[in-house]
Amino acid sequence: MYRLLLPFSFLFFYLLSSSAPAQNKAAADNVAETALHRGKGPRWLNSLLSSSSVLRQHQVGLSLRDAVSGEPLYELNSEQYFTPASTMKLFSLYAGLHLLGDSLPSLRYVVRHDSLLFWGTGDPTLLHGDVPSRRAFDFLQGRPEKLFYTPIPCVDAFGPGWSWDDYNYYFSPERGPFPLYGHTVRFRATPGQALWIAPRIFAPLVEPAPAGMVSADHVRRPLLENRFYVLPFTRSWVDETPFRTSTEVLTKLLQDTLRREVRVLPWRPRVADSARTLSGLPVDSLYRRMLQVSDNFLAEQLLLMCASRLSPDSLNTDRAIRAVRQQWLQDLPDAPRWVDGSGLSRLNLATPRSLTALLVKLHQEVPEPRLLSLLAAGGGHGTLRRVYHDARGTWFWGKTGTLTNTHNLCGYLRTRTGRLLAVSFTNNNHVVETSAVRKEMERILLQVRNRL
C-alpha cells in the first residue's frame, strides 16, 4: 500500500511546487501594481491609473487639490520626490513675485564727477529677441558722462547639474550679470541669399562647416570658442546659438550697440556711494514669456535679479533660493531641492503635493485672471496650445516640464461644474515616447474635468 501511495505523493507535491512560482509571480505583480497605483481618493481614478499600459512601467505621481480651499482631493505617490524639470519655473515665479515688485531692475549706477559707473542686475531683456527692452540702451546712450562698466561677482555661466552638451542649443544660453541679445546669436538662412546674422559683431566669426562635419543642427559652435560653423542647407530656417560670454565680449557688444566708448573699471560699491536702480519692463512681460514657452534663460536671470534685490553688489542664485525658502515656503509639505531657476538641472527634486501646495499659494496671492494669463493655456498659447481643450475652450492652464524620460504637468484645471483644481501630474523614467505619456495624461485629466 505504501508503495502505491509514494508515487502519487511525489506527483501531488510536484504539481503543487511547480504551480507555486506562477502563483507567487502573479501575486507579486498584483502587489506591485497595487503599490504603484494606490492613490487616496476616488476609486474610478485609481482604476484609470492602474489600468493604463502607458503609465505602468515608470514612476507616476498625481496630486489634486481644490485651488481655492487647498482641500486634498487625490494623492498618488505625492510624498515621493520626482525630477520636476521646468515645473521648477513656478518656484522662480514665486520668488519674483515676492522680491521684484512691479518692474524689472534694469541696471544699477553711480555718478562720479564726469563718469557714470554701471553694473548689471541680471536683467535679460536688453535687446532680447523675444522680450526686448531699450530702457538701459536709451539711458546709457543718452548720458553725457563717460561710461564705465563694472563687473560684479556672479554665478557660473552654467548651473549645477546641467547637461554640458546642451551648450550649443538655443534653450541653454550662459547666465550673466549684464546680458545683451539674450546671450545668443540669431541666424536666418534663405537659399541663394546671404546669411542674416545678429548681432553683426559675430559675422566675421561665422564660416561654412568644414568638410566632414556631421550634425543635425544648422549651426555648431566649439565648446570654448566663439566660432560658428554653418552646415549646408537647401531650405530656409531660423535658429539661435548661444555665444560664449565674458567681460571683453560684453564691452565690445556695448560699444558696437551704443556707438560710444565703454571702459571697464573693476570697482566695488562703497557705503558712501548712493547707487540708483534704473527700472525696466513690467515684470509680467518676463513672467509670461518665461512660463508660456518655458524659456530657461529668462528663468535663470529672474533668480539673479531676485538676488540683486537682496544684495546689489553680487548675483548669487543660492542666496535668492535660500531667502525665498526661509521666508515664504516653510509651510510646504516637503522641502524641495531647488538648485536653479529653470529646472534644467537633474539635481532639482520636488514632491507632487508640494507642487500643488505651491499652486494653491500662488492662487491665494495673485488675482486669478492675472495668474492664469501668465501660464500656457490649453488650445490657446505656449506649450499647451495643441492639447487640453475642447469645443467649450480652454480648461487647463499650466506649466509643462520635459527632459529626456521625464514629462510633468503642473497647473489649474477647470471642471465642468466650474471648480478650479490645482494639479501636479509627474512622470519620471518613462521609456515610451513623450507624446504617448502626454496623450495619456490628457485622457485621465479629461475624466477629472468631467467627474470632479
**Confidence (pLDDT) at 446:** 96
- Whether residue 24 has pLDDT greater than 70: no
In Å, how far from its chain's centre is CA 126?
21
What would the mean pLDDT of 144-173 be, rounded to a whole number? 95
**Confidence (pLDDT) at 300:** 98
Band of pLDDT at residue 163, cut at 50, 70 and 90 = very high
What would the mean pLDDT of 143-152 be, rounded to a whole number? 95
Question: By three-state DSSP, how is residue 409 classified?
Answer: strand
Please give the backbone phi and psi of residue 18, each rounded to the nearest 5 degrees, phi first: -70, -30
Count of other CB atoms within 10 angstroms of residue 255: 16
Band of pLDDT at residue 12, cut at 50, 70 and 90 = very low
Domains of the chain in sequence order:
41-84+349-451 (3.40.710.10), 94-308 (no CATH)
Please give the backbone phi and psi of residue 150, each rounded to the nearest 5 degrees, phi first: -115, 110
- Whether residue 30 has pLDDT greater than 60: no
Band of pLDDT at residue 215, cut at 50, 70 and 90 = confident
What would the mean pLDDT of 289-304 be, rounded to a whole number? 98
Dist. CA 56–CA 49, nearest whole Å:
8
pLDDT digits (tens, 9 = 90+) for 62-93: 999 999 999 999 999 999 999 999 999 999 99
Non-local (6+) Cβ contacts of 406 within 8 A are: 83, 85, 427, 428, 429, 430
pLDDT digits (tens, 9 = 90+) for 240-279: 999 999 999 999 999 999 999 999 988 666 645 688 999 9
pLDDT digits (tens, 9 = 90+) for 351-391: 999 999 999 999 999 999 999 999 999 999 999 999 998 87
| Residue 308 near residue 121, CB atoms below 8 Å | yes
Band of pLDDT at residue 39, cut at 50, 70 and 90 = confident
